[in-house]
Structures are given as structure tokens and as C-alpha cells.
Structure 1
Amino acid sequence: MQTVKSFLARHRQLFLTLLVAAAAVLTAAWAGFDLSQRVDGQPVYEIVNDEYSRTVTIPRAESGTDSATGLYQPVPIKAGQRIYGVRLNLTTHNWAFRTGTLFAQLLDDSGAVLAQGSLDCITIRDNTFADLIFDQPYTAPGQAYEEEAYDFSHPSATLRLWYTAGDGWDLDHLLGIWMSSDEGATVTRINASGTRETVRGTAAFQYVVNYSGSWSKLLSAVLGILTVGAVVAGFVLLTRGARLWQVVLACGGLLGLAFAVLTPPLVGPDEYTHLAKCYQQSSALLGQPLADENWNLMVRPCDAPWFGTQTGDIGIFAYKETFEHLGDHGCDGAATVSSAAPLTADSINNTLYLGQITGITLARLLGLGFHGMLLLGRLGNLIFYLALAALAVALAPKHLRGIFACVALLAQPLQLAGSLSADAAVLGYLFCFTALCLALRTRPARPAELVGVVVLAALIGPAKAIYLPAVLLILLIPKEHLAPRRSVAVCAKVLALVLAVVGWAKVNLGAALYAARDVDTVGLTRAGLALALAAAVLGFVYWKIRRDARKRNIFLGGLAAAIAVAVPVAFYKLTHMWGGLTPEQLVGSIQENGDSIYTYSAGYICRNLPNTIKLLLRSVSAQGAQWLQGVLGTALGEPIVYPIQVSWVLGVGFVLVLLAAALPKAGETLPLGRRTKAGCWAIVVCVIGLSFFTALNWTPINYTTLFGLQGRYWLPVLPLVLALIHHNRTFAVQKDAERGAAFAMLCLTSLVILQGAGLYAAWQMPS
């Protein structure tokens, strides 16, 4: 017994690793099995002839397929059409088969077999359509034309049907097919004896134009290997003392690749828009024409069909098409076809698309098809995000690295990184900037870090309008930590803020002016100048009387009274500036889709504060759960289009893991002071407030809830929120939980991927 205990103790790590691997493999295997049971073998039909009024007996052969026995139905096939099988309306004459096999062959003019399939007769039900799936799909020659109609007067192939009896077959029992009474069409029936006869009419049948087959197994295998690899690798790295940034880089890469495979084409958040921007910049790099005379984006011929819709399809057939065409190559790299996507007139912030543009350009140089190009673009985005996320974890203070690692491995950031979304780069920039600012509160900056904090501030400014307040984190860095010379530190902070504001104004000033389109700018400017002048005068007066206690008290009392009067007056002026919309304008603003042409603007909000507050309160109750899902990543793809939501249990798990990573260890020093924490909370509130204001600008005034607000907009400040929770003085843990939290995050994100595959693939499957 002692020997066994000693053996187990020596190999404890190995056994735990094997246990984790076994659990991960079993979970992935079960998810794959469950998916295959739901989506495999699903057909898509196209009606060829749906008129029938009588039945005709299908000839029975003695055995096999050697003879010419069968019912021969001439059939038309569209040019370029792929056929996976046929669906026939059969009759068993109120009899249940126990044995026998129904065969079908698709023959050309010379009698050569183009495709063939069989069906066990025991599955046939009386007066019910039954599927015969071919062993291999058949694709008709020629260019496909979807509008082409089936023409029985010019058949392009012949469908041969016959069946054979098995042991125990009742020889008096027959199998038939429903047919129309069309006198102008004929089918030929050759019996087992060789007797040939002609029958008037056309069989009732449909083509199986798509078939899911067993494609789910490939999807499950790819996702299973990636998720199992991430969980096992994470367990090994975390238990062997690897650094957290290494875990983010290795395991985040595997899970991000899984998301790149999991998300169907153009289903990622706003992916169509991001694709058009990246494609445009790629064409500029390659020296290709950007637009036609109508200012529509020029694309390669193989890419043109994908620029006709703004949202991709989901379901098992979307995965099937992706895997079938992922290896396409030899595509013409010249952009010679006009697409439905308009050319982006505004300047594109290329710093948000470095990875995507690189991947798409490389794919076009290699001649890859659309799906290969999309995957390389996603992988370029993923690599760029992982590099920034790992850098953020490495830069963060030691006691906060678990927070940044867990946020980086959260499902939502990895989903964004595994698509073409520009939000991945935004997250990377803000994660690095936040980590660096928090780290430099406790230690002096290296020269590279001094440059880095300025560069990151300059990148954040034009990234997205709502994140400009986050640049103020640079003010939390003590001057002596930023640079040895005080003047250099001050210049660095001023330069960072100026660059951020200039970049923000260059990209977002137009949108900001539009949001304030109905504000009394002249009145506000005058009020601002008057307020500034009054502040200067009051400051001068206070400076003169500051040493006289009696005069100072009188001054402060008068100032308080003036403020008490000025605030209601200012509030009244703001809520009554200009006249607003007339009833005629409100009625006439409703479009055919029911939306008003007017949206919430700064002036409308001020004039209608009660309605705005009501809308916000209704939005919190109606959409709050969706916002939380958007932060965590438990809502996949573009939630406005497809409500793909994984189990709420996983969402609860994510919240608990983030809180576990955020709680400090007992006895840990808290470097953030009260004023610093207040400033950080103010930054968070400003970012969230700006996100609400931006969503209001998208919301028609006749809506009762906000339009377009998503929780992922708050992800960039999530590490800062968790860092503030970490510096609480109420709750703590006895043992550091950052490594356990990181492993739990890997497991939860893997479960999101596995469950998401089932939700995506089984979406709107036929019953």
C-alpha cells in the first residue's frame, strides 16, 4: 500500500493531466455526437414535378443491378446543378415492408451511370415521400442559372427505379410511385422478364439539392481538437509555473482559431462592413482598382457573390460550404467585378485593421478563394490581438495579471479576434494602455514604456469615440515614475493627451457635430464664455480675500447662493432651447418600416429628459441580460441578426471566475488611493455613458428601448473595473486564485465553443 501511495504521489501531475484530458475529450465527444444526431443526414429539396393523380408499379428485379429491369423516367437537370439524390412519392398499397431494397440510378443518354443510390424498403411509408441519397453527388455540366426552369420536353438524363425482394418477401405485394396523368410525357417500364411497355405521365419527385451528410463530424473534430488542446495545454502550463502571458498566447491562440472556424462567414459582429474596408485597403496595397463608376467596390470574380448580402447564413449547410471551398485556390487576383458594397468614402483607421488587411492581402497573392481569404484575414486579426493581449498581461502589475489574463481569455474578446472585427485591436490597445498605466503607478517607466504609453494614447484617440476618456488614465501615473525629469514627464502626458484628442477629432468630430445638430451652439458658447469669465473674476476675488476669514465666509456663502440660483436657470434653459419638433413633423417622420427619421440627439434629449429617462429604464430591464451576454461572450455572432445564446449557466460561471480573479489575497497592499479609485470610476462611468449616448443617436425617437447598444462596447474598461474591485477593503481570498481562475476561464470558453457549434449548426433545421 505504501508503494502504491508513493507511486501515485510521484506521478500525481501525470494522472491529473490524464484526468483533465479524459474529461475534455469526453465532453468534446459528447458534443460532437449530440450535434451529429441533430444535423446529419438533413436534405434540402427542390420540386421538379408535384402533380400526381395515379400510381404506377415499379418493376421488381430478381437480384442486383445486372438486368435492365426498371422504371425509366426522363428528367431535366439545370445547368451546373448539383444533385445529391431524389425524393419520390411512393405507395406501398397499404402494406408495411419488412425486407427489400429500392434502387435508383441517374443515367446519361448512352446509359452510363452518373449517380446511384438505394433505400431500405422497411423505411418506406404508404403515400409518403422518401429520400434516395446518391453515393456521390452529381453536378450537371454548364454554367449555373438559378432562374432556369425544368423542361421535361428536353430531358438531360434518365432516372431508373427498381427494387429487389429480400427473404420473406410476399410476391403478391407491389411497390408503386405516384404519377401525373400528363398525356404528353411517357415513362418506360422494363419488367424482369424483359417486357417493355410505355406508360403515360410523369413521376412525382423532387431533387435533393443539398445534403448535410456527415459534415458535422469534421466540424466537431476540428473544434474538439482545438478546445481539448487548449484545456490540456492550459492545465500543463498553469501547473508547471508558466507565465500567464504564455498561457494567453498559447491557449488563446487555440481557442481563437476555434472561434475563427466556429463563426460562419460574415456572421461575426459587423463583419460585412469590416470585410469591405479591409478589402478596399488590400486592393490599394496591391495596386488594384478600388471602385467602378458608381463608386461600388471592385472585387475578384470569386468574391463577388459574397458582397451581395450584409449577413451570412448559418446552419450546417453554411459549415458544409465553408469546408468544401476552404481549399479553393487559383482564383484570379485582379479586382475586375463590381460588387454591391459601396466604397468607403471616409478615411479608414488602418491601425485597427493591420492583421485583417495583412491576411486578406496574403490570401489574394496566393490565389485563395473567398473562404480561405476570410480565414486568413481572421487569423491575422487573431494574431494581432493575441500579441497585444499577451503584452498587456506581461506589463500589468503582478497582482493584477490574473485579471488581464482572464479577460483576454474571455469568450467575447476571442470571438471578436476570431472574426474581422476592428474591436479586437481596440481591446488590445486599451488592455495594454490600462495595464501600463496601472503598472507605472508602482514603479518607474523604462524608456520604451515612456514611448509606448504615448503611442498607445495616440492609437486609442481615433479608435472609437467612446474610449477617449480612458486616455486620462495617464494622469494617474506619478510624474517621477514617468520620467526622471519632471518637465519630460509633463511633456509626455500633455503630448499623449493632445495626440489622442487630435486623433479623436479627426475621426469623430463630424459624428459629434451631427449628434449636436439641434443644440443652441451660439447660446452655449456665450454661456461658456460668461462662465469662464465669472470663474476668472471669482478666482481673483477669492485670491485677494482668502486670508480674511469673515470675507471668505461671505464670499463662499454668496457663491453657494449664486450656484443654487444658476443651476435651475441653466437646467430650464437647456431643456427649453429652441422649439423642437412640431406635431406635423412627428407624424410625417414615420417611414414605411415604422421607424421615425429623427433619432435622439443632444438637443432632443435635453428637451425631452423624462422620455429619455423612461427609455433608458425600459432598456435596462428589457436588454440588460443581453448587454451582460455581450460582455461575457455568451451571445455569439451578430446578436441583432441571430439570437444565438448559450446556456446562462456558462454566463454565471464567467461572472464568478472574473470575481475570483479580481479578489485580492489577504494581507496584500492596496496601491490605489481613494482619489485615484474615484478618478478610475469616473473614467468607467464616462465610457459607459458615452456608449449610451451613442446608442441614443442611433435610436429613432418613436422607439421604446435603445437600438444598437451591445455589451461588447464595455469590454475595454472591464480590466479597469476588475482592478478597482481588486482594491476593495472588504473581501479577500486566503490563497491566490489567479491560476485557477485562468484555467476555469479556458474551460468555460471551450464549452461556449462546443455548445455554440450545436446552436449555429442546428439553426432552423427542417423537422
Structure 2
Amino acid sequence: MSDLIEVRNCGHNLKRCVLIVCLILIPFCLYSFYWYQTSGRFSLLLLILLLAAVMLALLIPFGLKALDSPKAYLAGYAAVLSFFALVFVFIFPPLTVADEDHHFAATYWMANCVLGDGSWNDSRTLQMRPEDESLLFEETSPNISESSYRRVLDHAELFSSSDELVPVDITEHFSLSVAGDNFVTKIPSIIGVVLARLLNLGAYPLFYLGRIFPALTFVICCVLAVKITPVAKGAFIVASLLPMTLNLASSYSYDCGIISLSFLFLACAMKGIFGQGQLTKKDLALIAVTAILLAPCKVIYSLEFILIFLIPNKRFPSRKIALAYKGGVLVCAMASIMLLRMTTITSLAGESGSQYSSEGSSVSLSYLLMHPIQTAILFIRTLIELGDFYFMSAIGSSLGWLQGNLSAPTYFILGYILCAVYSVQATANDSVEISFRAKFIYGLISSGILLASMLALLLNWTSLDSPVIQGVQGRYVLPAMPLIFMLFRYKMGKTSGNVIPFSFTCMYVLNAFYLVQFFARALLLV
């Protein structure tokens, strides 16, 4: 009888697998065929074949329910995230991610210091190979188009013809510092550039190797976060696979390191809040280390440390030890901020105002405090006029330097949101109920991060006569995105199946469709 039931289950899973493959792969092929006919580029065909092959390899085990065990779904998620991280590394030409020219210069300077070709105390002159200087200042454009891909193919030599360094004055272009450029978050990209220099790789292989190391570090941190958190694993999976997250994680941006550390901290905090039994020394150490490393990267994300005080005291040997630990972590995190970021904070709070503001008088903190009503109106007007832009750009409607002619259709954003809402619901293996009080705190933290970023850019980027706060982007809330997604978990949404394989499978499908139209449209631009 049991053999008969097993045979029936296998037959049911096989039919389910065939149905899923047909329902997803056929529309993907039709969608891809349209864009291939529109662009007519062979490189797009190669991307389509690669995406289709990986999609088939993912849909078959998903349809057969072979990804339901923890070991299987972690391996599947790691494979999907690694695949997209590497695709995003190469599908964006050099310096086409926001602020990547600055971050590449900072990484190169720090790599010079490691190799003994520069000084930690002097970033005004950058020792560079001529071909690397040409890549940074002459050969590249922030806009993505067919010519930017052609430029990579025309200049991508595996090895450099010379390892000679020439001094380059960068004072007119960049202002670099160890603290301001977040040395800790740049360690992976520094390793990549140092390794490329030691191997005497050409300028473009050097550039891409410097992208690969932070992307792989991001993958490791995200997989660990999903493994650690006992609640809403789907929130971390979806947040890590959003187009904007992948765009930043596969670049030189220090946002890659910030998002990685934030996800890891949030996962450890969730384990502390919702886990069972006493916290181990390893648990306590992970929370403390991630908090101390994250705090000086961008001070606004220190709001996440409120979660430490939500950890029940019963998870410690005594209430006294609990209070001492929570206070100690907060003090250490604040000390790291004081050590590395106090100069930045005092410059924002000072009377001098913005050094980057556009035409007009700059804004100072004292002015805002003296005009509270006008300040409140400015914040409200900014949220009303630019709120949709923040929302869409956080998901990934526009990537790179927010290139308008490559903006994704709205139905993609809707698909990502629906996937996120379904993926955070409770299941039989994750039946934890997130209370209204907890959601309220998560909402306060997320809103506080957005408002704090607006305040920072009001002081540092906005002129006094500007009608809205300039420079704010939705990507600034990405480190807290798992918390935002958890707000959509509700009692009636509990599902019977395992949502984790669905989370990364659905995100793979959405990203595959996204990349086809993105690459096709980029190839149509001259």
C-alpha cells in the first residue's frame, strides 16, 4: 500500500513539474523571442540561452519538490544568488553603477596602500597604471549602451603590457579617506584589485575581479542570514534578489558591504528575538561584531540596534547580564562611530552647511531647528512628490545611474512586491507570529532610516532654495528591506507549503524576464 502511495505521489509531482516548466518556460521563450527579434543581437541570444538553461535546471527540482529540505533549499538559494551576482557583475560595463567611479578610485588607492605604492595619510595623488587611469577617466561612460559593451570587448586584454605606475592628481575629481570610504566594506574589492595587480592583469580584468570579490562576500553573508534567522527567511531571500540589491552588491559601491552586514545583523537579531533557549556565546558574539562593524559604515543604520533591546531577557543567564550585554553592544557600536565617523557628523551639524549643494545658500542644522514648520513642510513635500520614485527605485525600476531610458515596466515592480508578500507569510515550519508591537517598531526603524537619510542629504546636498530634498534614493532603505517585508506578514496569510523554494524560484523567473528586456534595450541604444 505504501509503495502504491509513493508511486502516486511521484506521478503527481511529475505532472506538477511538467506543468510548472510549461507555464513558465514557454512564456519566457516567447518574451525572449520578441526582444531578440527587436534587437537582433547575438549576445542577447547567448544570455537568453543561459537564463533558460539555468531556469530549467531550477524548475525541475522545484516542480518535483526536491528543494523542500533545509539543506536543499539553502543550496538552491546559494546557487541562484551566486548566479545572478555574477551575471550582474558582467552585464554592467565598468563605472555604470551609481558613484562607482569614486568607489573604484577609493579601492585602487587602498590597494596601493596595501601594496606599498601609496600612503594612508595622502589620497591626493593616485599611483596608477596608464591603462587603469584611462579606464577611470577616458574610456568609460556612465550610460549603458551597445557602445559601452563594445568598448569593453575592444579594450579587454587579459594581461597588462606594463606594471609601471604614474602619479595621477585626483583632487579635482575625488576626496578619499579611510573612514569616509568605509574601509571595512571595501576589503573584498581591495583583495580583488590587489590580486589583479599581483597577477599583472589588464585594466578590465582588474576591474571585474574587483567586483567579483564583494559580490561573493555578499552571497556568503546572505546565505548565512537565511540560515540563521528562524523567522521570515523569505524576506531575506527576496530582498537579496531584488534588481537594485544585486546591482549594488555586484559593484564597487560600499553599499554592498553595508547591505551584507545589515542582513547578517538583522538575521542574528531575529534569532535572538524569536529563538528558543539561552543565547550561546557564538550568537552573542555575532550580534556584537556585526553591530560594531555596521555602525560606522553609515550612522543612519544604527537605528537597527533598537532590535537588540527586543531580545527577551530570559534568553540570558540573568536580567542583569542581559542589560549589561545590550548596553555594552550599544556603547561599543557608538564608540566605533565616534572613532571613525565623528568628523562627518560634526561637519553636517555645523554652521558651514553643505559643501556639495547646488546653487543657492546651503542648509545648516541650526537653520532647520530655528524653522521647524518650514522643515516639516519640506520633508512632507519631498515625500509627496518623490515618494513613488523612492519606492520604485528601491526595488530596481532604474539601475546603474538611474538611467531613464532603461527603466523597467511597472508590472515587474508589482511582481516583486507580490512575491515578497507571499514569501514572508507563516508556514508549518515557521509559525512565528510577529506582533503588532514588533511590526510597529520595525516600521519606526525603517521610516527612521529613510528620514535620517533625507536629513543627511538636506544638510549635505540641498540648497536652501530647493523645493525638495535633493539626492535621496530608494536604495538607502535596502539594508532594512527584510524588516519592511516583515510588515506584510499577517495571521490569515499562513500557507501549508514551504515558501522558501518558491521565494528564490519566483525571484529567478522575475529576474530572468527583467534581464532580457534590460539587456535588449541597452543594446538598442547607441
TM bucket (normalised to shorter chain) is: 0.7 to 0.9
**Structure 1 residues 250, 449: CA separation in 2 closer, same or farther (over 3 Å shift)?**
same
- Residues 302-321 of structure 1 aligned to structure 2 (within 5 Å): 302-308=131-137, 312-321=142-151
1:630 alignment partner AA? S
Contact 1:598/1:700, CA 8 A, preserved across alignment: yes
3-state DSSP class of the match of 1:285?
A: helix
Match of 2:521 in 1: 759
Match of 2:182? 349
1:217 to 30, 42, 55: 42
What SS does the corresponding residue of 2:488 show, helix, strand or coil?
A: helix
1:470 Cα deviation after fit: 0.7
Residue number in structure 2 paired with 1:577: none
**Alignment partners' CA distance in 1, 2:215 and 2:174:** 26
Query: Which of 453, 458, 464 lines up with 1:696 in the alignment?
Result: 458
What residue is the counterpart of 1:550 in the other structure? Answer: none
- Offset of residue 275 of structure 1: 0.4
Structure 2 counterpart SS, 1:440 = helix
Gaps of 5+ in 2: 1-7
Query: Alpha carbons of 1:457 and 1:595: their partners in 2 closer, same or farther (altered >3 Å)?
Result: closer
The Cα shift of 1:359 comes to 1.4
SS at match of 1:355: helix
Query: Are 1:388 and 2:388 counterparts?
Result: no
CA distance in 1, matches of 2:361, 2:511: 40
The code of the aligned residue for 2:126 comes to L
Query: Displacement, 1:605?
Result: 1.8
CA offsets per residue over residues 704-751 of structure 1, 9 Å max, x none? Answer: 12211000100111111222332x346555655443343222111222
Q: Which residue type is aligned with residue 647 of structure 1?
A: P
Distance 1:15 1:758 in 2: 29
1:339 to partner: Cα distance = 5.1
Instruction: State the TM-score, normalizing by the size of structure 1.
Output: 0.61
Q: Deviations over 1:33-73 (max 9, x none)?
A: 3222xxxxxxxxxxxxxxxxxxxxxxxxxxxxxxxxxxxxx
User: What residue number does 1:409 align with?
Assistant: 241
Change (3 A) 1:233 1:386: farther
Give the aligned partner of residue 3 of structure 2. Answer: none
Residue among 251, 264, 284 paired with 2:113: 284
Highest RCO, 1 vs 2 (Cα 8 Å, sep ≥ 6): 2
Equivalent residue, structure 2, for 1:240:
66
Mark the CA change 1:361 to 1:229 in structure 2 (over 3 Å): closer, same or farther. Answer: farther
**C-alpha offsets along residues 351-410 of structure 1, whole Å, 9 cap, x if unaligned?**
20122111111122222222111111111111010000111111111x411221111111
Structure 2 residue 191 is the aligned partner of structure 1 residue 358: yes
Q: Distance in 2 between matches of 1:381 and 1:407?
A: 17
SS of residue matched to 2:227: helix
Deviations 1:541-569 (A, max 9, x none): xxxxxxxxxxxxxxxxxxxxxxxxxxxxx
Task: Please give the residue correspondences for 1:326-337 in structure 2 after superposition, counting only pairs within 5 Å.
Answer: 326-337=156-167
> Which amino acid counterpart does residue 402 of structure 1 have in structure 2?
G
Distance 2:284 2:121 in 1: 46
Cα gap change, 1:691 to 1:357, in 2 (>3 Å): same
Partner of 2:424: 662
Measure how far apart 1:337 and its partner are: 3.9
| C-alpha distance after superposition, 1:450-471 (max 9, x if no partner) | 2111100101111112101112
1:649 aligns with 2:478: no
Q: Are 1:12 and 2:15 matched, yes or no? A: yes
Query: Closer, same or farther in 2 for the Cα pair 1:682/1:608, shift >3 Å?
Result: same
Aligned ranges 1:165-564 → 2 under 5 Å: 216-221=41-46, 223-238=47-62, 239-241=65-67, 243=70, 244-289=73-118, 295-308=124-137, 312-338=142-168, 340=170, 341-342=173-174, 344-347=176-179, 348-397=181-230, 399-441=231-273, 442-443=275-276, 444-481=278-315, 483-484=316-317, 486-518=319-351
Per-residue deviation, 1:752? 1.9
Give the secondary-structure state (helix, strand or coil) at the position aligned to 2:168: strand
* DSSP 3-state at the match of 1:635: coil
Equivalent position of 1:34 in the other structure: 38
Q: Distance in 2 between matches of 1:293 and 1:418?
A: 28
Distance of aligned partners of 1:293 and 1:11 in 2 relative to their CA distance in 1, 3 Å threshold: closer
Whole-angstrom distance in 1 between the partners of 2:126 and 2:120: 5
Deviations 1:523-554 (A, max 9, x none): xxxxxxxxxxxxxxxxxxxxxxxxxxxxxxxx
2:5 aligned residue: none
Distance 1:623 1:354, change over 3 A: same
Determine the C-alpha separation between the residues in 1 that align with 2:54 and 2:325.
Answer: 40
1:26 to partner: Cα distance:
4.9
AA at the equivalent of 1:448 = K
- Matched residue pairs, number? 506
Tell me if structure 2 keeps the 8 A contact 1:226–1:255.
no
Taking the aligned partners of 2:476 and 2:414, their CA distance within structure 1 comes to 20
Q: Distance in 2 between matches of 1:488 and 1:494?
A: 10
Q: Higher strand share goes to which structure?
A: 1
What is residue 483 of structure 2 aligned with on the other side? Answer: 720
The 8 Å contact of residues 233 and 424 in structure 2, kept in 1 or not, is answered as: no
CA distance in 2, matches of 1:382, 1:226: 20
- Return the structure number with greater helix share: 2
Aligned-residue offset at 1:642: 5.4
Q: Match of 1:175?
A: none
Alignment partners' CA distance in 2, 1:18 and 1:735 = 19
| Higher alpha-carbon deviation: 642-651 or 652-661 | 642-651
What one-letter code is carried by the residue in structure 1 that aligns with 2:515? Answer: I
Cα distance in 2 for residues equivalent to 1:405 and 1:237: 18
Aligned-residue offset at 1:512: 2.1
SS of the aligned residue for 2:86 comes to helix
Distance verdict in 2 for CA 1:306–1:487, change over 3 Å: same
- Measure how far apart 1:278 and its partner are: 0.7
In 1: Cα distance, 2:510 partner to 2:400 partner: 17
Q: Is the 8 A contact 1:680 1:720 kept in 2?
A: yes
Instruction: Give, in whole Å, the separation in 1 of the partners of 2:241 and 2:474.
Output: 17
| Equivalent AA in structure 2 for residue 656 of structure 1 | L
Q: Which moved more, 1:21-30 or 1:276-285?
A: 21-30
Residue-by-residue CA offset, 1:468-507 (whole Å, 9 max, x unaligned): 11122111112332x4355544443223211211122233
Q: Secondary structure at the match of 1:354?
A: helix
2:369 is equivalent to residue 606 of structure 1: yes
| Residue aligned with 2:423, SS | helix
CA gap of 1:282–1:674, structure 2 versus 1, over 3 A, is same
Q: Give the structure with higher Rg (CA).
A: 1
Percent identity over the alignment is 22
